[in-house]
Chains A and B, each alone.
Chain A
């Protein structure tokens, strides 16, 4: 909170209450390309989403669907050669795509906290975890005293369920289990009371009994801070248990978005239906495979990118030729399917 740029995106109780109605994060028509010399491959194509304070939005899709790139575009932490080439990303009314590097640095780890999939690679193996949490605080508050940092680190580690926080702060990442490391990762993400937490498959690398602990912890952090959570996952079980809203991605596009109950009760895209049916542990028709392989960027089928694998559209000329637009079907429910009425549960 030392630079003027962070001011508009710093949470105040009033702002948080207000933004439950208006979006905290608003992404419009986001385009992300892989740029190699003259050639461009579209990886994310026209993604729009809104996320309100206190809300959990799940981004669901298979590998290569663009869900991680969408989230990383918000932070502007994209791999080399990958660029945002269109659209806007607004956090608290400020367009992050037009922010300078310095301004972005003030937002990352401050207004936005990031929890990554693998806490072992996200943490520095040579530095005690307490110092790493402390660095996250100091990076955004140069004038804070050592004693104040130490107190805040202990408070954070204790809040994420690390036993003996003062003593454990002096230990290195390798001395912790995967679950404990992910707790440290969450402590770092929460260090500056972010308004938005981006969690990219935060439990995929963890055992199932630890998964629930970590997701509970994220829920608690969200409830207590009023932060919004953008949760990236491929696991529909996690979606069912944690999401308020769900955005389903396929081949770089949003194919459906809805409130969680709506999505599971009344899916309106053939891909969502297929995903629900193939997930082990889904309630109906568990384990029904989707034929073929995921569409790959740069070699997308014509028309609807899902049509070659689709139960409904594989043989229909309209699905083969015409790209479906994302249309609103009901209350807060959009789908990009030519035949949403034929989708069943």
Chain B
């Protein structure tokens, strides 16, 4: 059996938030299980404050979980000390949302691409130039672009450079945190196509963080939906899209605008009232109950666990309600 590229088991993380006299703890991530197989894309979908970026940071061990384990390619890396993280950094790389902020404007592109290699002592005399050219060509840029500075490139091109840098150490897993959210739609599609072809060529695994369900559907084999620090639904992209179990997933799907004016008025829309509850004061029981149109008294008491429902998994006490109303 193949070793998962990434496995999270019961991962939790809280942060101290100082407000006036007292210090509160924010439970950003609570008991998250997640598996990404080699060559597979798992999309982690959720709104701001859902904890998806914290999961990303834990997966690359930029943050250490309070509980649970992080396993990368069969190796437990949960509590590795910074000095011991070297090999992990080779296996797992991250691409950030904003390619304007993630590239140093004073460095030439070639230096940006060589930096991870230098940090890992992998630059050999004579081969550096060839490796830069190779990386640039892999992401659809030209070898001579290595001599230029980031400002000479458009947003989409910068994201290609960020991806090239992430590939420099030949990782097996890329954690992509909203990699196309800052880009125009035409460029979004280019970057998604590039990521797809890189995955095919290099057998990469992706943990793809996004708030955009359409993007998630396009790129991923599996989708995990997060709400208030928990995974509330998990299944194949097809299962989650065609047979959503959790009311929150249904609300998310129905809120995403569809580029077809003929579906106006014919599509069943669920417009949630109110905002995402604050992570500082989460509701008792199920975190979604304050916005849920199906909530009952029990929902304020029990926080449901992720369990098999119909074809896949969801964390809802009354998932069967959906059949009745849907």
Contacts and interface: CB of A to CB of B under 8 A. Distances in A.
Interface of A: 62-63, 177-180, 207-213, 216, 234-241, 243, 260-261, 264, 274-276, 278-283, 286-291, 293-294, 309
Given A275-B185, A293-B156, A208 B258 contact: no
Contacts of B192: 280, 287, 289
B261 A240 contact: yes
Interface of B: 47-48, 154-157, 184-190, 192-193, 211-215, 217-218, 251-252, 255-264, 269, 271-273, 275-276, 291
A280 B188 contact: yes
B184 A280 contact: no
A-B interface, 4 closest residue pairs, ranked by CB to CB distance from nearest: A237-B257, A281-B214, A280-B214, A289-B189
Contacts of A261: 261-262
B211 A208 contact: yes
Contacts of A283: 258-260
Contacts of B260: 240, 264, 282-283
A238 B257 contact: yes
B189 A280 contact: yes
A294 to B, nearest CB: 7
Contacts of B218: 280, 286-287
B259 A260 contact: no
Given A261-B262, A281-B257, 14 more contacts: A209-B252, A211-B255, A236-B259, A237-B256, A238-B257, A241-B261, A264-B261, A279-B185, A280-B189, A280-B218, A281-B213, A287-B189, A289-B186, A290-B186
Contacts of A291: 190
21 contacts: A62-B186, A177-B275, A208-B47, A208-B252, A211-B257, A212-B269, A212-B271, A234-B185, A235-B185, A239-B259, A241-B258, A264-B262, A275-B185, A279-B185, A280-B214, A281-B258, A283-B260, A288-B189, A289-B187, A290-B187, A294-B186
Contacts of B263: 240
Contacts of A288: 189
Nearest to B276: A207
B261 A286 contact: no
If over half of B's interface residues share one DSSP class (helix, strand or loop), that class is named, otherwise mixed; here it is: helix
A211 B256 CA distance: 9
B186 A276 contact: no
A209 B213 contact: no
B185 A293 contact: no
A63 B155 CA distance: 10
Contacts of A286: 214, 218
Nearest to B49: A207
Contacts of A274: 186
Given A236-B185, A280-B218, A290 B258 contact: no
Nearest to A239: B259
Nearest to A274: B186
Given A177-B275, A208-B213, A213-B271, A62 B184 contact: yes
A274 B189 CA distance: 11
Given A177-B275, A261-B261, A283-B260, A294 B255 contact: no
Given A280-B189, A288-B189, A177 B276 contact: yes
Pick from B214, B215, B291 the residue with the most CB of A within 10 Å. Answer: B214
Contacts of B291: 209
Nearest to A65: B184
Nearest to B269: A212
A282 B211 contact: no
A261 B261 CA distance: 6
Contact of A209 (B47, B190, B215): B47
Given A278-B186, A281-B214, A287 B259 contact: no
Contacts of A62: 184-187
Contacts of A279: 185, 214, 259
Contacts of A238: 257
Contacts of B251: 209
A283 B211 CA distance: 20
Contacts of B262: 261, 264
